[in-house]
Amino acid sequence: MSVTQFDPACRRCERLAKFLQEVKRDNPGYFCQPVPPFGVKQPRLLIVGLAPGLHGANATGRPFTGDFAGILLYETLHKFGFSNRAESVASDDGLKLRQCRITNAVKCLPPANKPTGSEINSCNVLLASELAGLRKGTVVLVLGGIAHKAVLKALELRIKDYPFAHGAFRALPNGLVLATSYHCSRYNTQTRRLTEKMFHAVFHRIRTHIDS
């Protein structure tokens, strides 16, 4: 598999590039570029989200930073020893990840937080390269159904063989471990589809796997 490097100047998706220009015009201080992965180079845990949030990663330039979804995520990462701080508000706030890396299935902000299939596919080559560089035994935690499908596509695995189910852990043919969770979005946490207890249970199992 050829390695495709993250390109901060990528404009392959015309709709997304145009939308970023519009958002930048209205919010001059926002990052408004493809958001790079954040964390250690050789993680034991790779977290895959959907895409940057309008006032979160798209504003700060760091996944889940400044975003409501990041509140539960970063608190949980700290609780289970994957970060030095429980809150992430800016890219220069001093937060550092341990054994962990965070990325997104789509690196640019999509309108209404809904990337098209072609946009997901266009970014999938980057995700494939990220996954190809992981060591055997690494846990890949997908947050939500789109991230789940994107990871399986990047690994050339059939979705029907690995159906999405919150809290599922599956050994993959390449030696990675696939963990699945509902996305820690405002909607999911406020409707209680995803509770703090449920999210912590996923991370407890991840922590146990890594420590063993």
User: What DSSP state is assigned to residue 70?
Assistant: H
CA angle at 4 for the pair 135 and 183, rounded to the nearest 5°: 65
Top CATH class of 42-211 equals alpha beta
Mean pLDDT value across the chain: 96
Res 197 pLDDT > 90 = yes
Average confidence (pLDDT) over 59-83: 97
**41-67: average pLDDT:** 97
Q: How many C-beta atoms surround the C-beta of residue 55 within 10 A?
A: 15
Query: Considering the chain, what percentage of its residues have pLDDT values greater than 70?
Result: 99
pLDDT score recorded for residue 150: 98
Residue 3 — very low, low, confident or very high, per pLDDT cuts 50/70/90? low
> Where does residue 166 rank: exposed (0-12), middle (13-18), buried (19+ CB within 10 A)?
middle
Percentage of the chain lying above the pLDDT 90 cut: 97
